[in-house]
Amino acid sequence: MVIMTCTAQAQSIAHLTEHGKISLRGLSVVNDNIIWASGSSGTVGRSVDGGKTWVWAVVKGFEKRDFRDIEAFDASTAIIIAVAEPADILRTTDGGNTWTAVFTDTSKGMFLDALDFDSGHGEGIVVGDPMNGRIFMAGSQGMNGNWRPWPIDSRPTAMEGEAMFAASGSNVKLVSHLGSGQVDVFLVTGGKKSRLYFNNKALDLPLLQGKESTGANGIDIWEGKKGIIVGGDFAADTVSRGNCALLEIGGHITVSIPLAGPHGYRSGIAWISADRAICCGTSGVDVTADGGKSWTLISTEGYHVCKRARDGKAVFLAGPHGRISRLDW
């Protein structure tokens, strides 16, 4: 207990910047220096010095759109999704000065939720709310590839009232296995039914569900061996039950719940190390030092998304009012 308490006290949130009334839900941390963020009113931000200074821009022609997720590859190249009708995927190769549409779908009811690439950038995936009873999925070969919808019969069948939340861009995760060429797809859903889809196989989750505001919001996987899922009820964001599930991944997946879960609804989750992780939501930020079995509240300030550097150790958070902060651990 003493060790866990000292560990939690050693971790703190350092504010870096705020940007007006923008709600930031997209966050991509390339390394300890290069950070991209995206959000409402067509806004994209970029820092190349670890968050000390930021360049903000509004994508021309998308001033009223909401970019709920972003995936960046370096200081010049990034992909963003504009979520609702029409659903658009845009790419920049010049640091955000110009953007090109690489996918557009004008279907009624189309709503994209999250975007991810495997660690080698060989494959990309975007997921969206169910269309005609099937969860929408499209894929790309590489960051510069063409985005193509998955065949209808290869998409998961959604139950009535089951959908996804575009709260943090973290409800889908691609995990590549080095040397084998295999890429696993992890996807979590919420609403009236909350499930984990692992390579198109569905598992029920022990999370709050049954209402449009309940269920899983985010998932992160550590080296293909274990995972943490967070969620809850965003309409009752201080309820600290049914908001976290732990995964052990082997020949099959074992799902369990923490001894002491996060302190409220949580939309973002990120592994920090083999035992440490951080999760965030509108009612605060929690950390764990024992693989998710117990959680400690370190801030009551609201954030939507948290990410660790893909190539590095820095951890950043983003949320309401264009707020971006760093976890000092």
Is residue 4 scored above 70 in pLDDT?
Answer: no
Instruction: Give the 3-state secondary structure of residue 3.
Output: helix
- pLDDT for 177 equals 76
6 confidence band (pLDDT: 50, 70, 90): very low
C-alpha angle 307-312-313 in degrees, rounded to nearest 5: 65
Report residue 266 as tokens.
């949580």
- The DSSP symbol for 53 reads S
Give the tens place of pLDDT for each residue, 119-154.
877 899 999 999 999 999 999 988 888 899 999 999
Instruction: Give the 3-state secondary structure of residue 235.
Output: helix
Average pLDDT on 174-202 reads 89
Question: Taking the model in full, what pTM does it have?
Answer: 0.95
- pLDDT for 178 equals 65
CATH code of residue 81: 2.130.10.10
- pLDDT for 179 equals 62
Q: Report cis status (omega within 30 of 0) of the bond before 262.
A: no
Is residue 8 scored above 60 in pLDDT?
Answer: no
- pLDDT for 257 equals 98
287 confidence band (pLDDT: 50, 70, 90): very high
- pLDDT for 180 equals 67
- The DSSP symbol for 9 reads H
Higher pLDDT, 142 or 218: 218
Distances (CA, A) of 18 to 23, 31, 54, 168: 10, 21, 10, 18
Give the tens place of pLDDT for each residue, 43-101.
999 999 999 999 999 999 999 999 999 999 999 999 999 999 899 999 999 999 999 99
Nearest Cα residue to 325 out of 290, 287, 289, 299:
299
DSSP per-residue letters across 137-154 = EEEEESTTSPPEEPPGGG
C-alpha angle 191-134-136 in degrees, rounded to nearest 5: 90
Q: Which residues pair with 157 in a beta bridge?
A: 134
- pLDDT for 5 equals 39
199 confidence band (pLDDT: 50, 70, 90): confident
Query: By the 8 A CB rule, do 38 and 24 touch?
Result: yes
- Give me the chain's average pLDDT, please: 94
3 confidence band (pLDDT: 50, 70, 90): very low
Taking the C-alpha atoms of residue 268 and residue 285, their distance in angstroms, rounded to an integer, is 9
Average pLDDT on 191-206 reads 95
Range of the structural domain that residue 300 is part of:
2-328
282: Cα separation from own chain's centroid: 15
**Cβ neighbour number for residue 211 with a 10 Å cutoff:** 15
Distances (CA, A) of 109 to 14, 80, 190, 274: 39, 19, 17, 40
Report residue 208 as tokens.
């709050």
**Percentage of the chain surpassing pLDDT 70?**
96
Taking the C-alpha atoms of residue 263 and residue 286, their distance in angstroms, rounded to an integer, is 7
Give the tens place of pLDDT for each residue, 220-267.
999 999 999 999 999 999 999 999 999 999 878 999 999 999 999 999
Q: Domain total for the chain?
A: 1
Average pLDDT on 209-225 reads 97
- The DSSP symbol for 84 reads B
Q: Which residues pair with 13 in a beta bridge?
A: 327
Report residue 237 as tokens.
């964001």
Give the tens place of pLDDT for each residue, 13-44.
999 999 999 999 999 999 999 999 999 999 99
